[in-house]
Structure 1
Amino acid sequence: MTRISDYFLRIAVLAGLLGMGMGMMMGMRQDFSLAPAHAHLNLLGWVSMAIYALFYRAVPIAADGLMPRLHFFTAVVALAVMIPGIALINLGYDIGELLAAVGGAAMLVGFALFGVIVLKATAPGRA
């Protein structure tokens, strides 16, 4: 049995803690210029990763094989590239646009992989 669910859940908790910490810092400073990065970190990091974890835990057969590992790698790398990219855009750095675009494309690929995994694991006649 794979531990992909555990890995996704660990990333989700880490992203949630970072996102909440970021929100606290923005509130204390009354500077909300990084709100888009904060929102994406919470949604794509905490919420999406937690949903992935719960799906793989609820449907263990979905966690078997190479595709779930590719999904995990793609989702984590996308998050690690996209969030700093969004932050850099809001701080006025041009490189942020490239990072956000690459990270966003990788996030889409990761979600498409997840879609295929879900369709295969929940197909009619599947045990």
Structure 2
Amino acid sequence: MQKVARNFFTLAVFYALAGMALGLQMAISKDHAQMPTHAHIMVAGWLMSAVFAFFYHLFPAVAEKTLATVHFWL
């Protein structure tokens, strides 16, 4: 796995764990005030990072370019 793909995958795992922890906290407390935050963490964080990791894994020539690293850090 290329470095950029691995970085995006690691970030996706972090967002997934954060989203699951927030969802579990909301379920236990029965206070769903943070549902928009939970949804954004899961969609913008986990899903998009996983899609980018999959893309860079499928296209290693693109992952080798400097722009891929810039994409990760922005």
Which of structure 1's runs of 4+ aligned residues deviate more than 6 A?
none
Map residues 1-127 of structure 1 onto 2, 5 A cutoff.
Answer: 2-74=2-74
RMSD (Å), alpha carbons: 1.3
Question: In the alignment, residue 17 of structure 1 is paired with which amino acid?
Answer: L
- 1:57 aligns to what SS in structure 2? helix
Aligned equivalents of 1:70 and 1:31: distance in 2?
38
- Kindly state the Cα deviation for residue 2 of structure 1 after the two structures are TM-superposed: 4.3
Question: In the alignment, residue 29 of structure 1 is paired with which amino acid?
Answer: S
Aligned equivalents of 2:2 and 2:20: distance in 1?
29
Aligned equivalents of 1:15 and 1:46: distance in 2?
5
How many positions carry a matched residue from both structures?
A: 74
TM-score (norm 2): 0.94
Of structures 1 and 2, the one scoring higher in RCO (CA 8 A, sep 6+) is 2
Where in structure 1 are there 5+ consecutive unaligned residues?
Answer: 75-127
Aligned equivalents of 2:33 and 2:69: distance in 1?
35
